[in-house]
Structure 1
Amino acid sequence: MHTGLTVGEFSCVTHLSIKTLRHYHDVGLLAPAEVDQGTGYRYYSLDQVPTAQVIVRLRNLDMPVADVKAVLAAEDVSTRNELIAAHLARLEDRLAQAQSAVESLRDLLVRPARRSAIEYRTVREQAAIGIRAVVDQQDLAGWWQGALGELHGFTTARGLRTTGPIGGLFANELLQDERGEALVFVPVDGEVRPVGRIDTLVVPGAELAVAVHRGSLQTIDLTYGDLGSYAARHEIGVDGPLREFYLRSPLDVAEDDQWVTEVCWPIFRADG
């Protein structure tokens, strides 16, 4: 004689479908209180209703099954709350990213017909210090900010005289294959002894088409679109790394809408 709830009854009580309850049993998240060995019927106890209600709320917050299991298995309230707080922080990050994407799309839809002003520039090779790495595209922003800070701290601590703005060189593979070489550099004067990730190098010269991007790097693709389209339209683009100069960066201002970045496209100039 079974005194528990059938899977159908438990489904109605908890608002979890029979299919979901079977899945939770299979993955070890919410096992029935009893399984009839003869019929295979599953029975749940009333004591499991609160657990099911917690599971519903955590899954409604997109918490992965493995994390839900960890919350339920937590031995104390502090551990459980830390797990939930960590997931909520991830949700807030995703919400902020979604909000930023919405604002970026709105800006694109109302963007005026006027495009970026483009100029030509010749840059000579420069002695510099820099940090170079092969980076996944999804990790580039974090790596870039870390490299900026490290180079700034190094030049300040050593009292080095900079001879130009901080810049970056980015291999085409970063966009084409979502992984490629990135370099952040600071032109400096005088001899420097390499330390840690920071090495001495010579930044190659190039002929460039240049446009100024103002604001967050999340919308810098629009400026790159203008530059790349211009180079293709005038048949002056050449193979080579993309280049940026950071006239105002996180080192200078706190708000990213105040950043100023020169975006540079390698070109072939035949005008002397």
Structure 2
Amino acid sequence: MTATVPIGEFSRLTYLSVKALRYYHDIALLEPAAIDPGSGYRRYSVDQVPAAHLIRRLRALDMPVAEIRTVLGAADPTARDAALRAHLLRMEEELNRTRDVVASLRALLAPGTRALQVEYRSTAAFPALTVTDGVARADIGPWCGSAFALLYRTLAAAGVAPTGPGGATYSAAWFAEDAGEVTAYIPVPPGTRGPLPAAAGTHPAPMLAELPGGRFAVAVHEGGFEDFDRSYGALGSHVAAHDVSLPEPIREIYLAGPDLVDDPAGYRTEICWPIR
């Protein structure tokens, strides 16, 4: 017969406070093995110690209670491990984001300012395969990743080779309202005709379109996107002092990004500011 212990003793076995154990009982996360009907005293089985240890660690990792309940209730180790791996991946992504923000803040606080080289470029209209959608600022990273994957799959299925690096255009609303129209594009050879073979994806269907030409003030942002605002600020300030900004979408060209470089420190992005 499995031994049982009162809640105070179980607290010592598990490093969980009595208050925490009562809370986990109330929300049906870790229920006592038995409750005395007269006194209401809780008793726990020593077989519950591993589950309590797991709960303690998962709560330390900020796993939501609903997900912990899924882990504890998993019918087999495979389902349990999949839920744990998904949470650990989210934690690692958040840790990486925090490190990037800390590095960006340290750079911002460092004495002096980064010199930004600005060049001027006039471009003609050119054909491209595009995906256009309304995108929230918070979703732009995953959106761009899946949009470009869809564009490249579509071109590969059609046997069409890109004629240059991919890019994206960002509407004024995207900046002003934290959500707005974004167009991801990949340049294609003149004369490319559609419709191209459809490639599976969650985005609107890729379309062949002509991206308009124009005159731009151009600067290159080196590295990841946590301090992208500093490059935007420097380029936009230069334009304000020396040029006339136009309300057309700002264009970014991804010279080296996640599909080419593993380390974000190696990313290179051209920011093309439309000017008169």
The TM-score, its normalising length taken from structure 1, stands at 0.80
Q: Is 1:124 matched up with 2:131?
A: no
Q: Structure 1 pair 74/206, CA: closer, same or farther in 2 (3 Å)?
A: same
| Superposed displacement of residue 27, structure 1 | 1.3
| Superposed displacement of residue 243, structure 1 | 0.9
Quick check: 1:126–1:204 contact (8 Å CA) kept in 2? yes
Q: Pick one of 225, 235, 241 that aligns with 1:217.
A: 225
Q: 2:202 matched to which residue of 1?
A: none
Q: Is 1:202 matched up with 2:210?
A: yes
Q: 2:99 matched to which residue of 1?
A: 99
CA distance in structure 2 between the partners assigned to 1:53 and 1:248 by the alignment: 45
Q: What amino acid is aligned across from residue 26 of structure 2 in structure 1?
A: D
Per-residue deviation, residues 137-165 of structure 1 (Å, max 9, x unmatched): 23322222333344345445645576654
Q: Structure 1 pair 107/158, CA: closer, same or farther in 2 (3 Å)?
A: same
Q: What amino acid is aligned across from residue 145 of structure 1 in structure 2?
A: G
CA distance in structure 1 between the partners assigned to 2:113 and 2:101 by the alignment: 21
Q: What amino acid is aligned across from residue 66 of structure 2 in structure 1?
A: A
Q: 2:17 matched to which residue of 1?
A: 17
Question: Considering only aligned residues, what root-mean-square deviation do their CA atoms show, in Å?
Answer: 3.1
Quick check: 2:33–2:45 contact (8 Å CA) kept in 1? no
Q: What amino acid is aligned across from residue 44 of structure 1 in structure 2?
A: R
Q: Is 1:44 matched up with 2:43?
A: yes
Quick check: 1:149–1:251 contact (8 Å CA) kept in 2? no
CA distance in structure 1 between the partners assigned to 2:260 and 2:111 by the alignment: 27
Q: What amino acid is aligned across from residue 211 of structure 1 in structure 2?
A: A
Quick check: 2:221–2:269 contact (8 Å CA) kept in 1? yes
Q: Pick one of 245, 250, 257 that aligns with 2:253.
A: 245
Give structure 2 stretches of 5+ with no counterpart.
199-204
Q: 1:66 matched to which residue of 2?
A: 66
Q: Structure 1 pair 168/111, CA: closer, same or farther in 2 (3 Å)?
A: farther
Quick check: 2:169–2:249 contact (8 Å CA) kept in 1? yes
The TM-score, its normalising length taken from structure 2, stands at 0.79
Q: Structure 1 pair 208/83, CA: closer, same or farther in 2 (3 Å)?
A: same
Q: What amino acid is aligned across from residue 191 of structure 2 in structure 1?
A: G
CA distance in structure 2 between the partners assigned to 1:11 and 1:129 by the alignment: 62
CA distance in structure 2 between the partners assigned to 1:111 and 1:261 by the alignment: 24
Quick check: 2:261–2:267 contact (8 Å CA) kept in 1? yes
Q: 1:190 matched to which residue of 2?
A: 191
Q: 2:171 matched to which residue of 1?
A: 171
| Superposed displacement of residue 115, structure 1 | 2.7
**3-state SS in 2 of match to 1:212:** strand
CA distance in structure 1 between the partners assigned to 2:181 and 2:87 by the alignment: 32
Q: Which moved more, 1:153-162 or 1:80-89?
A: 153-162
| Superposed displacement of residue 190, structure 1 | 0.8
| Superposed displacement of residue 226, structure 1 | 0.9
Report percent identity of matched pairs: 38
Quick check: 2:130–2:185 contact (8 Å CA) kept in 1? yes
CA distance in structure 1 between the partners assigned to 2:14 and 2:161 by the alignment: 68
Q: 1:108 matched to which residue of 2?
A: 108
Per-residue deviation, residues 62-101 of structure 1 (Å, max 9, x unmatched): 2221122222222333433333333223322322222233
**3-state SS in 1 of match to 2:217:** strand
Q: 1:84 matched to which residue of 2?
A: 84
Q: Which moved more, 1:230-239 or 1:171-180?
A: 230-239
| Superposed displacement of residue 22, structure 1 | 2.7
Q: Structure 1 pair 215/22, CA: closer, same or farther in 2 (3 Å)?
A: same
Q: What amino acid is aligned across from residue 119 of structure 1 in structure 2?
A: E
